Amino acid sequence: MDTEESEALDAYSRIVTGVAARLLPSVAALSVRSPRGGGAGSAVTFTDDGFLLTNAHVVAGASGGSAAFADGIETPFDVVGADALSDLAVVRVHSPGAPAAPLGDADNLKIGQLVVAVGNPMGLAGSVTAGVVSGLGRSLPARDGRRLRIIDNVIQTDAALNPGNSGGALADSTGTVVGVNTAVAGYGLGLAVPINATTRSIIGELVATGRVRRAWLGVAGLPVPLPPALAARLGQKSGLRVVEVVPGSPAGTAGIYLGDILVTAGGRPVQSVQELQRLMLGPAIGVDLPITLLRRNALVDVVALPTELS
């Protein structure tokens, strides 16, 4: 190995070991108890008073368990709240003391960027793997009972993730947490729920109330291209064609019809189901939502009043 290769390898190693040193004290191995039996996963401390972030599927059906940290301390934890539709959950340990890991913004990630996964795969505590961001903007279906939602902007990485990694940290080269790893059976991919403005809002609701309130519009749609002249004028390539309107729903009451194309909602472009879903969080409940539609080649403005999804 020549000097240049050796120096490059040393630089890579320094980054990975630096991230590991920073995050390992913040990551816990979770042992979960529930009526369905025991389970295991990972969690990352994100506040100084003992709140940890993990996956909802790690703590599904559980009220608590125990958390073991790299320094050998083991402490009980309680489940504060879980949101299956984002696959995020917050737990709180009885004996805080682990340092809080900094949360970043996955919207700034680039394909090919170095990332480091820290967790407890297969019960092997304090495991570290490294790789790159393989893809961005992936979608992952999540189900809560009969409700199906798409977790959008999921991060794909080639850093090895295995059962037990779920709930652990995915960090950038500075040791800032940009995602929560999720090992989903049947996918065979390294995936992570991103830390961004949407998920920060979800995490905040889980800490404050233990649940996530969502708004309901009562409309389903599919992306379609906008007419070229309108697309050029708006600087927006596509909209969302309405394929279903629930009778008596906020969308129906507002005067949204089958075949309409949603162009904007709340002043923001609507080009995908995910963009509409991002607007349907707690703050949207009971607040007028102006919507611009394309109907028979004319733009039409309506106002909907989203209600709480039960």
Structure tokens at 109: 């990630």
Structure tokens at 154: 């999921």
Q: In this model, does residue 118 exceed pLDDT 70? A: yes
Annotated active-site residue 57? The verdict is yes
Write down the pLDDT at residue 190: 83
Residue 226 CA to residue 210 CA, distance in Å, equals 40
Q: In this model, does residue 142 exceed pLDDT 70? A: no
Annotated active-site residue 94? The verdict is no
Phi then psi for 176, rounded to 5 degrees? -90, 130
Structure tokens at 46: 């994100």
Write down the pLDDT at residue 186: 47
Q: Is 190 helix (H, G, I), strand (E, B) or coil?
A: strand
- Give the lowest-confidence range in 82-91, 94-103, 157-166, 197-206: 157-166
Bridge partners, residue 29, by sequence: 42, 68
Q: What is the mean pLDDT of residues 66-95?
A: 92
Q: Which of 57, 127, 172, 249 is catalytic?
A: 57
Phi/psi-derived region of residue 129, left when phi > 0, alpha when psi is between -120 and 50, beta in every other case: beta
Helix, strand and coil in the chain, % to nearest 5: 20, 45, 35
Q: Which of 31, 127, 166, 272 is catalytic?
A: 166
Annotated active-site residue 49? The verdict is no
Q: Which of 87, 152, 172, 260 is catalytic?
A: 87
